[in-house]
Structure 1
Amino acid sequence: MVAIYQTAKRELGYNATRFLQMVSSEGGLAAAKQLLWSDTPSDGFTNLWDHGRLDLTVEAHVLRPEYEELFTDEDRQKARGRLEQYGWLERST
């Protein structure tokens, strides 16, 4: 999760302070699930969408095979639905 923050900062100049605070205080998995199950996309998701980098979102990472054991089918369905709603086609799995 910290790697997502670092990549967004390095490549986009996006400083996702709130995201980093969530990861630090709640842990990566809890932060991911909280962001995933919110009724609306986070400001970070919207910012990454504006930059054409939905691949850096928590939702995109939920779908990655290496994290399969951490998330339920429902989590993956929620992530996929949000990404599809914003026009991102799953490319990495």
Structure 2
Amino acid sequence: MPELENRFELAMYEIYRRAKEECGYDAKRFLIMLKSKGGVATAKELLHNDKSYEGLIHLIMCNCKHLTVEAHVLLPEYSELFTEEEKRIAKSRIQ
């Protein structure tokens, strides 16, 4: 699983970069979390925090739903990293 966790973390850095480039959204707090906690832990913390909607809303308004943590949590290749409850939360947030 460490390899899968590493791939997910790289994907999180990539969505940070792309959100900044494509949407003008500089998620500095997200980047700090990634650097200190890693990708999977950051995603889990954001999913379990009811107040972490700012970035999600900005990206959805920018038509960049594909660049959200929630969208990546739902990708089949990362399925085993997250619980069914975490996937349910991600799905409900991006709908």
TM-score range for the pair, normalised by the shorter chain length: 0.7 to 0.9
Q: Structure 2, unaligned stretches of length 5 or more?
A: 1-11
* CA offset digits 1:32-71 (Å, max 9, x no partner): 0111111134311111122121111111110001101111
Q: TM-score, normalised by structure 2?
A: 0.81
Which structure 1 residue ranges, 4+ long, deviate > 6 Å from structure 2?
A: none
Aligned with residue 33 of structure 1, among 35, 44, 56: 44
Q: Structure 1, unaligned stretches of length 5 or more?
A: 85-93
Q: TM-score, normalised by structure 1?
A: 0.83
Mapped contact 2:23–2:64 kept (Cα < 8 A): no
2-side partners of 1:58 and 1:45: how far apart? 8
2-side partners of 1:25 and 1:11: how far apart? 25
Partner of 2:91: 80
2-side partners of 1:34 and 1:42: how far apart? 12
Greater RCO, 1 or 2 (C-alpha within 8 Å, sep 6+): 2
Q: In the alignment, is residue 10 of structure 1 matched against residue 21 of structure 2?
A: yes
2-side partners of 1:46 and 1:60: how far apart? 13
2-side partners of 1:42 and 1:30: how far apart? 17
Q: In the alignment, is residue 65 of structure 1 matched against residue 69 of structure 2?
A: no
Q: In the alignment, is residue 51 of structure 1 matched against residue 31 of structure 2?
A: no
Q: Which stretch of the first structure deviates more once superposed, 32-41 or 56-65?
A: 32-41
User: Percent identical across equivalent pairs?
Assistant: 50
What count of residue pairs does the alignment treat as equivalent? 84
- How much is the aligned-residue C-alpha RMSD, in angstroms? 1.1
